[in-house]
Amino acid sequence: MDPSIQKALNDKLYDKRKGGALELEALVRESINNGDHEKIEKIIHQLCHDYAYAVHQQHARNGGLIGLAAASIALGSEVARYLEEIVPPVLACFNDQDARVRYYACESMYNIAKVAKGEILVYFNEVFDALCKLAADSEMSVKNGAELLDRLVKDIVSESAASYVSVLRTPEESIVSPNGDDDTAVPPDIPTAFSLPKFIPLLQERINVINPFTRTFLVSWITLLDSIPDLELVSHLPSFLGGLFKFLSDPNQDVHTQTQAALERFLAEVKKIARIKRGIAESKKSQLGDVKRSDSSIKSGRSPASDASSASDVESTRVQGDGLDKDRGSDAVESGSDSDTEQDSGTVDGDWIPGQDVEVDHTKILDILLLFLTNSHAYADEEVQLTTLRWIDSFFEISPEDMLQFVPRLLSQVLPAVSSDMEPVRSAANRVNASLKDYIDSTVEDEVPRQESFLTPAAAAQPPPTRSMESKQSLASSRVPSPKPGPELDYEGCVNALTLQFLNEHVDTRVAALGWLIMLHHKAPRKMQSINDGTFPALLKTLSDPAEAVVTRDLQLLSEISRNSDDSFFTSFMVNLLKLFATDRRLLGTRGNLIIRQLCNTLSAERIYRTLADCLEKDEDIEFASIMVQNLNNNLITAPELADLRKRLRNLEAKDGRTFFQMLFRAWCHNSVATFSLCLLAQAYEQAYHLLQIFADLEMTVDMLIQIDKLVQLLESPVFTYLRLQLLEPDRFPFLYKCLYGLLMLLPQSSAFAALKNRLNSVSAIGYLHGAPRTAPTTPAVSSFERTNRLKAREEDQIKWMELLDKFKAVQERARRYQRGQNHLSDETMASSDRTSFTLTAPVQKTISMLEGAGVANGSGRAARPVTGQTLGRLPPAQQTTQTQQVAGTHSRARSSLSHLGRVVGGVGGRKSKR
């Protein structure tokens, strides 16, 4: 360069530098006209190394920048061959500490890019990286200069990125066609100046920025590149989708709005591509079917004219313009048209449809979505959760075949969102959960046909029939599904994910998890049975859940497991249930009846009672066995679900009824009142009377009297209507009167005593009729004991009443010894305390008032504690006298009445007859 130009470019004044740049521009133009490329190379080299790279000379750097811009303007179309040396020093000035240098660098690059146009795309990554940094520049003038440069580069990219090939990379013979005209003929294998695969790694690196201005810059570029149809940025969506989801949580509203719009755009585009491919696949299948039908018609001798309608159908299946429009913003699918051009562009026969060759990795996208759903749930980010759930729900339409492998992870993340505190998130999660259920139900083949997987209520109430080995094998072979190709569901992964949801603090999530397990058991009971070993303890523990809805679902699941399992598993289930009740008495007290009734409602009630009775008969925990028998007996009497069992027990003439009664009796022996009520329920009144005689020798406890009180109340319920009507026939049911009068004698002077006394007095007049002389002797009533002896020779399966009574005595004796041992330990504990500070507890006071001065109190607070001299000794003197008199009166009244009840039966209204 001339010395005057060098001096001007190095001047501190901008105007002088600008003047020197104009002189330099004229000099470069002159050299181009003269063809002196060597001089131009020297000028550019001097501008770069003596000016633009002069780090410590600020004015020289500014002069070099304006000089490079002037030289580029002068070069015009020839600038391409010099860009490799011009661009790097300008890019280096973007990082200068001086804001004015950064601004002049933007101005210089703007002029260079305006001249170079498509050639600047060769350095797109470097220019983009520099602009990405300047978008967050603290100096407003630099930021404004960067925005101007950014707009220019965007215009160039929009116009040339998809097709422009650098002149430096294009062979000379391909620039001009062989005919010598101006048309270009670029080989298809030559890469374009802009490379999207090379740009994506840079975008991945920059997408993790935090600055809102930089994020806005990135979103604007992503939106621009996606609007260029031939680039197909959507095929690289997994590379930067995670960054966009991070942008959603940005507090800056502009970032959030632009990001949301970009994500909606991508989702619409992914949907459209999926529809295009699905339409093409269906069209090909339809055409293939038409071709096969046409071949078959030719073989059968039909004329082609007769298949005109088929030909029209083939033509109608051609996929019409479902391609992506230029701006990719419309989600509409073009309909068919009469023009040949539209039909040709929409057909499948070798014609290209926009979007048909775009490959979108749905698996990677789903993996990213689940990752963000996890993080958003942890941080309670509503917008990220909503958008993620909306995308996931859309993928049931976009690519349902890819969803199956993500089912366990989906369950782990979607079910907690079902209980979200934010209503929009909760609604979206419920939609995804419903879509996932429908997808599994329609896609995964049932292991067992549904009609065989369920039992009707009538069948469920019947005991399981015994089958021979051959019939069992034939049944098993009939249920084996025919092998069908289809997707495989990770049942074990699903069960593990669902079991973890039992620990969730929200009820809706726990209920949803149990609902999923029930559905999976319906789909594949055999596969689920192999996984039950790990989940069964968790299901049992869930019975202690405070929410009744969870317990109900849990019982439905346990019933489903038991229904599809063998007898050994069912027995194990009942044993573990009893163990749970034994260790968690609170659960037994609050939910025991609900659990038993729900199981009886879904499974065979007789099977449940038979199994529980067998287990309780062998139970060594006498106290628990008594409590459990009491609960089972109360349900047996009151539960509507057990009406069939009550009818079966009342029919002791049938073999099944007798067998069932004996099995229950052996277990019910743990609780004397329950055994007595069982005999009343089975109309075994004579057996009940003999039990009452044994009651006279038992130690009466508060708990026992309370149970008798409840039994008297139950006698007034609809369940015992038949029993009350039988009071009208004392000649047929003499022992019924003995049983009821025996209860009356056992009860203290309480409301139950008055109710039972009123009931018996209401039928006492019948005694006059039966006490009057008869014209002919009546046949004496035959006791069940005598009938048993008579039928013993004919039938071996009759009820062995004496053996049952012996069993009852033995069990009650064990209970008595156990109770005495407990009382001894309690007495020793009480003796060590200060007796003068003894006061009655609230439960004991309530029991005493309920029994209306019955005199049966428990000083230690134990419900099953019998009344003894030691117990009375702890009461105040006035209460000791009252208690002793009333308890003694109760026992003496019971013993004397039971010994003379036989004489009372002949005349029911005994006292009235004497009058």
* Whether pLDDT at 907 is above 80: no
Question: pLDDT tens across 315-347, in order?
Answer: 333 333 333 343 434 343 333 333 333 333 344
Q: What's the whole-number mean pLDDT along residues 717-737?
A: 88
For the record, the structure tokens of 849 come out as: 């008032």
Q: Tell me the β-bridge partners of 866.
A: 701
Residue 186: partners with Cβ closer than 8 Å, 6 or more residues away: 165, 170, 174
Question: pLDDT tens across 766-780, in order?
Answer: 654 444 444 333 333
* Whether pLDDT at 392 is above 90: yes
Q: What's the whole-number mean pLDDT along residues 616-629?
A: 89
Q: What's the whole-number mean pLDDT along residues 369-381?
A: 77
Q: What's the whole-number mean pLDDT along residues 138-157?
A: 94
Tell me the Ramachandran region of residue 794: left when phi exceeds 0, alpha when psi lies from -120 to 50, beta otherwise: alpha
pLDDT of residue 398: 93
Report the alpha-carbon angle 429-278-372, nearest 5.
30
pLDDT of residue 57: 80
pLDDT of residue 876: 41
Question: pLDDT tens across 149-193, in order?
Answer: 999 999 999 999 988 998 886 654 444 443 444 444 445 567 889
Over the chain, what is the mean pLDDT? 76
pLDDT classification of 796: cutoffs 50, 70, 90: low
Q: What's the whole-number mean pLDDT along residues 477-501?
A: 69
Higher local confidence (pLDDT), 877 or 190: 190
pLDDT of residue 5: 85
pLDDT of residue 412: 93
Highest mean pLDDT among 268-272, 381-385, 850-854: 268-272
Q: What's the whole-number mean pLDDT along residues 555-580?
A: 87
Higher local confidence (pLDDT), 517 or 448: 517
pLDDT of residue 761: 87
Distance CA 383, CA 376 (A): 9
In this structure, are residues 11 and 17 in contact, taking their beta carbons and an 8 Å threshold?
A: yes
pLDDT of residue 329: 40
Distance CA 222, CA 207 (A): 10
For the record, the structure tokens of 666 come out as: 């052996």
Q: What's the whole-number mean pLDDT along residues 717-731?
A: 88
pLDDT classification of 277: cutoffs 50, 70, 90: confident
Q: What's the whole-number mean pLDDT along residues 14-41?
A: 88
Nearest to 809 by CA among 911, 702, 697, 708: 697
Distance CA 234, CA 361 (A): 10
Distance CA 727, CA 777 (A): 22
* C-alpha separations of 319 from 314, 322, 359, 455, 869 in Å: 11, 7, 19, 48, 98
* Whether pLDDT at 754 is above 50: yes
Only one residue has tokens 């009491």, namely: 630
pLDDT of residue 188: 57
Question: pLDDT tens across 578-603, in order?
Answer: 999 999 889 888 888 889 998 998 88
pLDDT classification of 202: cutoffs 50, 70, 90: very high
pLDDT classification of 750: cutoffs 50, 70, 90: confident
Nearest to 884 by CA among 851, 845, 862, 853: 853
Highest mean pLDDT among 82-96, 311-325, 652-666: 82-96
Q: Where do the H-state alpha helices sit in 564-621?
A: 567-583, 585-602, 605-617
Question: pLDDT tens across 422-456, in order?
Answer: 999 999 999 999 999 999 988 887 765 544 333 33
pLDDT classification of 378: cutoffs 50, 70, 90: low
pTM score over 0.75: no
pLDDT classification of 301: cutoffs 50, 70, 90: low
Q: What's the whole-number mean pLDDT along residues 755-776?
A: 64
pLDDT of residue 209: 93
pLDDT of residue 299: 54
